[in-house]
Chains A and B, each alone.
Chain A
Amino acid sequence: DVKVTQSSRYLVKRTGEKVFLECVQDMDHENMFWYRQDPGLGLRLIYFSYDVKMKEKGDIPEGYSVSREKKERFSLILESASTNQTSMYLCASSNREGAPTDTQYFGPGTRLTVL
């Protein structure tokens, strides 16, 4: 079974703090994604990566950055957390687009609260 793990289930930070969210997948997937999920807005893509050291902006990249130094690990960084970044953050991974099975597999999520 594909396993996607995230470093924390719940996180509370203060405004202005630097926040690291880490995601690890064990299926040798090329693609990795970070989403945030908010009530009434659904899932919105923040950043994604198709390969090591490669990153692409999604729909809402402002205030975030990412790092992918190893294939299995994709980190989301909030350089200076703000209250409007309070949300559920979901990481996902998949085979490359167009592969026979490129379903995205999601991690358990990190509920981040910024005070």
Chain B
Amino acid sequence: ELKVEQNPLFLSMQEGKNYTIYCNYSTTSDRLYWYRQDPGKSLESLFVLLSNGAVKQEGRLMASLDTKARLSTLHITAAVHDLSATYFCAGHGGSQGNLIFGKGTKLSVKP
């Protein structure tokens, strides 16, 4: 069964800096998802990566997928406070093909 590991689990950044969140997964997953969760709120879909080499960008966030390395990254460019949230990656691979989520990366952007 698929296992998904994110790192770091906690990330404190200064505004204006760049950083990358890593998502490693243990077996083949045909697609990889990134979600954002604000404190006390539900999960919001950010990106779906469908194939090797896929790259998607939205504002200051860019996600990429390397299926050979079983690695997805979420890169943050010039962080701003509004990006403070918990970010989850997920892949297909449960016993019924359902999504398996990583434990999440809690991002805190400080002025």
Residues of A at the B interface (CB closer than 8 Å) are 33, 40-43, 45, 48, 56, 58-59, 90, 92, 97, 101, 103-109
Tell me if A45 and B42 are in contact (CB < 8 A). no
Contact bitstring B79-106, A, C-beta under 8 A = 1, else 0: 0000000001000101011110111100
**A104–B37 CA distance with the chains assembled, in angstroms:** 14
**Closest chain B CB from A46 CB (angstroms):** 11
What band does the interface of chain B fall in when counting residues whose beta carbon is under 8 Å from A?
10 to 19
Q: Hey, which chain A residues are within 8 Å of B35, CB to CB?
A: 106
Chain B residues, CB < 8 A from A33: 98
Shortest beta-carbon distance from B21 to chain A in Å = 14
Q: Which residues of A contact B102 (CB under 8 A)?
A: 42
Q: How many A-B residue pairs have C-beta atoms within 8 angstroms? Tell me.
A: 42
- Closest-by-CB residue of A relative to B1 is A59
Q: How far is the CA of A40 from the CA of B48 in the complex (A)?
A: 24
**Cα(A59)–Cα(B45), bound, Å:** 22
Contact A42 B43 (CB under 8 A): no
B43 touches A90 (CB 8 A): yes
Interface string of B35-63 (1 = CB under 8 A from A): 10000011111001000000000000000
